[in-house]
Structure 1
Amino acid sequence: MMRNHSIDDDEYDYAEFILDIAVQDPASWLMDVPKILRFIHESLSDCTTSKHLKLFSVLCTLANEFPRELLISILTDLPTLDSTTLDIWKATLSLPMNSEKSLQELQNVLQDKRVCSFFEVNTVDLSTVHLAMMRPKDQILVDLCDPERLQVCLRLQSLPMLWLVLRALTMLSERPKMVSSEVRERSMLLFKDLMESVVWWRKGAMKTTVRRALIPLFFRMSDEAESVAKASAVVLLACTMFLKWKQLEHLAQNEDTTRITEYLLKQKSSRVDGYLQQSLLYLEDAQANLRQKAIKFIGLAVYHAGIQSEEKLNELIQALQPVTEDVDTSVCVLAAQTILRLRRRIKRPIPLWVQLAELFCWPCIARAYGSV
């Protein structure tokens, strides 16, 4: 009755009444966890948003009364590559019952023989993934950092499991010594898997996420780690196919970075502004070649987008100013030259000494002479 869109108000009220009784006495009504869970899954896929809260109240009751059975059933009884399954999984792990007891339950479930047999892995492979739900303390991150196990888990055909691994990678990537090529590469490939598994009715929301991923992937095509650069190119191509941008797909296939830049900067102004803001983040990247790429991208963005706003130009100049003291001489020279070009677009005349100072980048020259 909950799934039936054609029922009248009286019938729907009766369905809600039955659900309320079930929630009040779960031991009598909700013992068949897999069956109830499949009902929730089917109903969430079919019913309107207004009915979701009622269904999630049933899910909350199941999580409190039968946490182990519920977690196992989500992993083994529901479609594994389905976004509704992922919604149920995330909702379950974010409920108020998500305490140390529930985390212990999650650990037990991930070592359950039925679950391991279902995914065709051993208990050791899944033994640490539950740590992704805990606070990222140093010891937890040390225990979680096992590349071989994470690689095994990344191959699992299950959105709930991939979501846990993604959380783990996010936690690890926030450690200064773990912004490694392996973490970057695996994160990109995981994003590709998630993108390609999204169901049709979620594609609209996913397109926004994919568009935001274009600039990071494009920049990482110049990563100093060859494996990361290669993975970036592969995932960027997958994004163009997902978006159905044929021209960009062709350019991505050929890895034509110059024309990719031009393509991205010839889109509507709102997108270009977003790309420009993303590029600013790479001015602080650890790799000098990526800092250089960010500076060049900013200069090209101003030119292709025809940015004339004094406020916007000053904002970009301010962002580039610290880079004129970069440890890499080529980076600070490029930043100084770009600042000079941006200032020329501003109507006010620039004093000659300022032009000369920025053109020759005095801080860089001073450092160069000091090191001789």
Structure 2
Amino acid sequence: MTDNINNSENTNEISSEIANASKDLQAISEASKMALDVVNAIKNEIKKVIIGQENMLDKLLLGIICDGHVLLEGVPGLAKTLTVKSLASTIDASYKRIQFTPDLLPADIVGTEIYDIKNSVFLPKQGPIFSNIILADEINRSPAKVQSALLEAMGEHQVTIGDKTYRLPDVFLVLATQNPIEQEGTYPLPEAQVDRFMLKVIVKYPTKSEEKTIIKNMSSSKPASLKPITTIETIEKLRKLANQIHIEERLIDYIVNIIDATRNPKDYKLQSEYIEYGASPRAGIYLTKAAKANAMMQGRGFVMPEDIRAVAYEVLRHRISVSYEAQAENINSDMIIESLLANINVP
């Protein structure tokens, strides 16, 4: 496969197969294998500059395929910003970075109206939000008023400037980074905004071998320049294919049980005192979509229980509020999710 997959005959064939996949399981499975080629081509290009961080990269791609916003959390220096920037470089799409700071204003994000003296009218000046991919860098460095400026855009695919409403691009994705809340100078995200993110990914430190490779690469060569690997049109076809991935009724019941267990843990013989409140209905929708996309990214046309478990932490960790009792015992939402998955069997 060539470096630029869009310019090859193989790419046109992949896009055609993906677009023409019917509801026939065999056709969907074949299209999923071709979709896997697109995903691998993107990942291989990004790996020219990113060492390790496989889970972060996989979940960012998952978010793009699912049309879901992604929140990355980790201490500074873990390549969160570079990974998002690299991902945007591999897709032939508009991209803007918004650096969140304490003095940022909502108008700096969505835009404002400027008075035209010559014609005596107010003209809209669109902000950076009018792009396909938005990097909201260090989103929790700004107060809630500014963070909330993203809510309408993320939830309704539109923004209001003055008294007029403007639609955002059909492919619109917010990839946000934040520092752990314990870091100085951070503001907690409003609960309504956190729930707008389909996935919350915890970015971890690289392994010793990965760190050695990073040091050797950074000290011995110039950073590689990345090329566009795919287009917005192909991303839209991948999204349609992901929606067609087959999921059995029993696996839908499995998802429902997982979500219900976050609200009624006693019914599943789990400790209830650790959960303040459980996941919203949006969690079940996102868990299903993410499981389908994960199956497609494995080259399969059907969902397996492993697909659900593979995305459960990222979908649920920011939708489960832990109680004071849990905090006192250093129990976090990931530990609760681990207990849920261990105790709930596939129907």
TM-score by length of 1: 0.29
Structure showing greater relative contact order (alpha-carbon pairs closer than 8 Å, 6 or more residues apart): 2
Q: From the two aligned structures, give the one with the greater strand fraction.
A: 2
Q: From the two aligned structures, give the one with the greater helix fraction.
A: 1
Bigger radius of gyration, 1 or 2? 1
